[in-house]
Amino acid sequence: MRKKVNLEERFAETNFSEEKKRKNIWLLGGASFFNDVGSEMISPMLPFFVQSLGGGGLAIGALSGLREGMSSLFQLFGGWISDLKGKRMPFVFLGYIMSTIFKLLLFFSSSWQAVLAFVSLERFGKLRDAPRDVIITLSTKKKKRGRGFGIHQMLDAGGKIVGSILVLILFWKFGFDFKHIVLIAAVLSAVSLVPLFFVKEPKSFPVKKSLINGIKNLNKNLKYLIFVIAFFTLANFGLFMFMLVRAKEVTGSIAAALSLGILFYLTWSLFSIPFGKLSDKFGRKKVLLLGWFLFLFVSAGFIYLTGLISLFVLFVAYGFVYAIIQGNQKAFVADLSGKMKGTAIGFYNTVIGIVTIFAGIIAGLLWDISYQVMFYYLIVITIISIGLMIRVREN
């Protein structure tokens, strides 16, 4: 049987030099690095800031869900219109600019409700993600796509490490308050615009389809994959904030909790490329299943393990989970997408975003009952997700 050829990918392969492709990956990763330095100076402080303003478990759960979820809601529009126009970079620029502006507006927060509002609006900038991921897709061959997304995840996590270290120094060593940290973070996020001027966008062919028709025409196996990952997202909704709160409860120190957060990001960064290469060699599904089984260990560990050493192990293990699944889930979606890559990736992110919002609220309600109840819930969801993933076809 004759294989279908994606003309857009073939054009990028034959008319775009390997040097330009490599530069694109690193430049886009560099933009994410600086933006995440700013973001991560803010995000580890958010649960503690919300608590200081009178918010409880439900507020933290809503914050976690909205922060993760709203970021994805805007990506479907960004992905689809970039397909429609055949242009990606204008939306990448706009996304980074909007993210910087709304970070700055956090400076005016005086209640936990205001924090939720500005954090949610800051996520508008994530409309950049689907167009950016299309550029990464067109700048890599399928057999090296896991590595390409791994490089981006490495730099993304590297920015989080630097941001976490900076906020730890500014808060713990120099006694900066939240609002001054926000100002510094917004300035550093603005630096993310500089690498974008040097990205050479591969030629894309405009696809004149409505958003609804574009989604309808997506590969059936891709739709099932998105459903399975969305179901798993009921468990992996942005657990990091709850992990920080639990670490603070166990250690009695915000500084210790932030240090464990840095350990998580360091693990994620160091192992993103190796696990991307592993999925290129052995297949996305096998590697993702490994990550989901490890997530089971982390969830159970927070129920049965206590003490600083246990927290150390669990934060490292969760870093491995992110290194395994974050880039490879996107690479898997990119593998199964057709001509409307922006729409496919945007649809994936939007579905995940909607689920994340509700998952965070559910987890917050369960957390207010007890943290053990919440983690038992995560275990059940993950076991079902593993069973569903086994049925996904890679081709």
Q: Which CATH number belongs to the domain containing residue 265 in this structure? A: 1.20.1250.20
- The predicted structure's pLDDT at residue 67: 67
Does 395 reside within a domain? no
Question: Of 171, 188, 19, which is closest to residue 99 (Cα–Cα)?
Answer: 188
> Could you tell me which residues come within 8 angstroms of residue 202 by beta carbon, excluding any fewer than 6 positions away?
11, 12, 16, 21, 24, 135, 138, 139
Does 3 reside within a domain? no
Number of domains, the chain? 1
Cα gap 224→389, rounded to integer Å: 9
Enclosing domain of residue 164: 9-202+211-389
Does 218 reside within a domain? yes
Does 326 reside within a domain? yes
- The predicted structure's pLDDT at residue 374: 92
Tokens 């993950």: give the residue.
Answer: 382
Does 263 reside within a domain? yes
The tens place of each residue's pLDDT in the chain, 395 residues long, gives 344 445 455 555 545 667 777 888 899 989 989 988 888 788 777 777 777 777 777 777 777 666 666 666 677 777 777 887 888 888 898 888 888 888 888 777 777 787 777 777 777 787 888 888 888 888 877 777 788 888 887 888 788 888 878 887 887 778 787 778 888 888 888 898 899 999 888 777 777 777 777 788 888 889 999 999 999 999 987 778 788 888 888 888 877 888 888 899 889 888 988 898 888 888 889 999 999 999 999 999 999 877 888 999 999 999 999 999 988 888 888 888 877 777 788 888 888 878 887 888 888 889 888 889 999 999 999 999 999 999 988 76
Does 142 reside within a domain? yes
Does 64 reside within a domain? yes
Does 93 reside within a domain? yes
